[in-house]
Amino acid sequence: MHSIKFALLAGVVSTTLFASLPAVAQDNKVLNLYSARHYQTDEALYANFTKATGIRINRIEAGDDQIIERIRSEGANSPADVLLLVDAARIWNAQQMGLYAPVKSALLESRIPAELRDKDGNWFGFSTRARVIVYNKVSVKREDASSYEALADPKLRGKVCTRSGSHPYMLSLVAAVAEHDGEAKAEQWAKGVVGNFARKPAGGDSDQIKAVASGECGVALTNTYYWVRIVKSTKPEDIEIVRKIGFIWPNQSSYGTHVNVSGGAMLKNAPNKEAAVKFLEYLAGDEAQGYFANGNNEWPVVKTAVIKNPELEGLGKFKADTIGPGIFGKNTPIAQRIVDRAGWK
């Protein structure tokens, strides 16, 4: 998980002041943001919000589970107004914990598709990303890695690399596989994946991509925005990586490629509710939606958003899995049992 860090943006108060903010204090020119988004490109997103509204952002960043636990431990005294998470299961789980306050907003309801928001306004999805397969063009045949299930095939013995099985991105994928194939088959699959490991799980998605290019691994899983980031790079070493690697939309002949969502919610004890609603509405606006695509290579959820990202658009169309956040959340305990039993550390 990402270590907790404080970000000081233009117009943002210091961390010392933020730590002492009383939960009851209201200031519609301040927003206290707890975020699991860890992308440097988001800093311009937040700065643009402050520029447009005059509302300063105090921001704390941590991994999904860490930031949720912090809010739970702070309880009614939490100064947090808005929570941003990068995994559908965590978004759903935090709702089950009763952390959110519903938001009634005609703008959010009209711009965000129904399947990417809670029907009662408890949370809203703002961007999506797909979990895809990359492979070494020399050591792996494309047809041998066309699905998530193929990662457990003996043909890929000693060639599979992944990040930790307990990482949110992996747990949501395992939760989806369990939903489609059942827990028993999903566990058998996970054991097959572990049996095919080229090395112990380590690092993030960018590390998996680089390991495939180096030949340490033959195949790996990554979120699409990590891949696009490397494709866009002008560094000679990244250009060489792209030359050596093939890209696959998994499960196009079955249930489709796993898609996850990054989203946000206003918190139950938010002291600055008016500012919180304005921020959530801002994230659904044209500027922010375009920024998710053009700044961090994610897909915006608003269909009319203008994408000026040839490398992202160059990925093309694909069949996406249709199961949503509620299923990921409900199946997370199952997924954790599966990876534990499989030895997917």
- Residues of the chain scoring pLDDT < 70: 1-28
Q: What is the pLDDT of residue 63?
A: 87
User: Rg (Cα) of the chain, in Å, rounded?
Assistant: 20
Q: For the segment 100-156, what is each residue's pLDDT rounded down to a tens digit?
A: 999 999 999 999 999 999 999 999 999 999 999 999 999 999 999 999 999 999 999
Tokens of 114: 């129904």
Domain covering 5-128+260-306 assigned CATH 1.10.3720.10 in the classification:
no
Q: What is the pLDDT of residue 288?
A: 94
The residue assigned the tokens 């956040």 is 325
For 129-258+317-342, CATH number? 3.40.190.10
User: What does each C-alpha distance from 339 to 114, 152, 174, 190, 332 come to in angstroms?
Assistant: 31, 13, 8, 7, 11
What residue ranges do the domains of the chain occupy? 5-128+260-306, 129-258+317-342
Residue 31 forms beta bridges with which residues? 57
User: Are the CB atoms for 300 and 289 separated by under 8 Å?
Assistant: yes
Question: In angstroms, rounded to a whole number, what is the distance separating the alpha carbons of residues 11 and 310?
Answer: 33
Q: What is the pLDDT of residue 260?
A: 95
Q: What is the pLDDT of residue 7?
A: 37
The dihedral region occupied by 284, where left means phi > 0, alpha psi between -120 and 50, and beta the remainder, is: alpha
Q: For the segment 7-16, what is each residue's pLDDT rounded down to a tens digit?
A: 333 333 333 2
Tokens of 165: 């099985």
Report CA torsion sign: 120, 122, 128, 130: negative
Tokens of 223: 């979120």
Q: What is the pLDDT of residue 40?
A: 80
Same fold, 5-128+260-306 and 129-258+317-342: yes
Q: What is the pLDDT of residue 9?
A: 35
The residue assigned the tokens 């095919």 is 196
Question: In angstroms, rounded to a whole number, what is the distance separating the alpha carbons of residues 110 and 21?
Answer: 34
Q: What is the pLDDT of residue 38?
A: 82
- Please state whether beta strands 124-136 and 259-267 pair in parallel, antiparallel, or not at all (unpaired): antiparallel
User: Are the CB atoms for 119 and 92 separated by under 8 Å?
Assistant: no
Beta strands in the chain (DSSP E): 5-7, 30-35, 56-61, 82-85, 100-101, 124-136, 160-161, 219-223, 245-248, 259-267, 299-300
Cα first-last separation, the chain: 14
Q: What is the pLDDT of residue 203?
A: 96
The residue assigned the tokens 């929570």 is 83
Query: Crossing angle of helices 325-342/183-195, nearest 10°?
Result: 50
**Residue 219: closest CA among 295, 265, 159:** 159
> Residue 133 carries which side chain, given as an amino acid letter?
I
Question: In angstroms, rounded to a whole number, what is the distance separating the alpha carbons of residues 97 and 325?
Answer: 15
Residues in the chain: 345
Kindly report the number of other CB atoms within 10 A of residue 14's CB atom.
10
User: Are the CB atoms for 82 and 276 separated by under 8 Å?
Assistant: yes
Q: What is the pLDDT of residue 28?
A: 66
